Amino acid sequence: DAKTTQPPSMDCAEGRAANLPCNHSTISGNEYVYWYRQIHSQGPQYIIHGLKNNETNEMASLIITEDRKSSTLILPHATLRDTAVYYCIVRVAGNTGKLIFGQGTTLQVKP
Amino acid sequence: GAVVSQHPSWVICKSGTSVKIECRSLDFQATTMFWYRQFPKQSLMLMATSNEGSKATYEQGVEKDKFLINHASLTLSTLTVTSAHPEDSSFYICSARATSGRARTDTQYFGPGTRLTVL
């Protein structure tokens, strides 16, 4: 699976949009981009995933560049409860695909 | 939907004993489940992949005779840490990849984790 690069930490003001970048320049055509987050001492929580089109759900939006070499996770109105480690992972769909976690981005939402 | 439970949530045991951790997908079926380990201030490390009805596949460096995995049904996988030692103390997290039920197919959902402390 392709490796991803994320900034180790970011701050965001409560109520503002949090934009978390991820580079995956060696991504293959059949690899999806997944985002998970882990709040302290809990299991990771699925946020969103996409292949090449932008995606939106009730939690976040995922913007994938046209060349698919990078993506941005957007939390539109960050709250204090969004403070967590955010992981960007690329994975092949189907039975052969595994989620391999990197170091992620620690997002601190401040009042 | 898409809930994964783990039991127990925490366990303390003496060195040399064995500990079993259960992972259940509550409202979806999962042909494949995964076991991860996480040490303090580190990321999750994949230990093994288990497929229902077959032997687990272990990642490099993970001892299969020490970490026994059973995936007997589409909703249950167990991890047994045999002859546990203090260095096995960690946060163990399972995940299940949905194949049917009230979950997004092919998406992995994680349990809340089990904190193991070996004295």
pLDDT at A1: 61
pLDDT at A62: 98
By the CB < 8 Å criterion, does B109 face chain A? yes
- Find the CB nearest B107 among A46, A95, A100: A46
Cβ proximity of B29 and B88 under 8 Å: no
Give the minimum alpha-carbon distance from B45 to chain A in angstroms, rounded to a whole number. Answer: 7
* Beta-carbon separation of B46 and A98 below 8 A: yes
Amino acid at B61: G
CA–CA dist B53, B60 (Å, integer): 22
Task: Please say if the pLDDT value at position A2 is more than 80.
Answer: no
Task: Please say if the pLDDT value at position A13 is more than 80.
Answer: yes
By the CB < 8 Å criterion, does A104 face chain B? yes
* Low-confidence residues of chain B: pLDDT under 70: none
By the CB < 8 Å criterion, does A103 face chain B? yes
pLDDT at A105: 98
Q: Which residues of chain A make contact with B115, given a CB cutoff of 8 A?
A: 41
Mean pLDDT of chain A: 94
Mean pLDDT of chain B: 94
The string of pLDDT tens digits covering residues A54-76 is 999 999 999 999 999 999 999 99
Q: Which residues of chain B make contact with A95, given a CB cutoff of 8 A?
A: 31-32, 51
Give the minimum alpha-carbon distance from B65 to chain A in angstroms, rounded to a whole number. Answer: 22
SS3 content of chain A, % helix, strand, coil (to 5): 5, 50, 50
Of the pLDDT bands very low, low, confident and very high (cuts 50, 70, 90), residue A5 is very high
pLDDT at B70: 92
* CA separation, residue B40 to residues A16, A41, A93, B91 (Å): 30, 9, 30, 8
Nearest alpha-carbon partner for B96 in B66, B73, B63: B73
Q: A102: nearest CA in chain B?
A: B43
By the CB < 8 Å criterion, does B113 face chain A? yes
- Mean pLDDT value across residues A10-35: 95
- Find the CB nearest B43 among A42, A95, A101: A101
pLDDT at A81: 96
- Residue scoring higher pLDDT (A40 or B91): B91
* Beta-carbon separation of B113 and A95 below 8 A: no
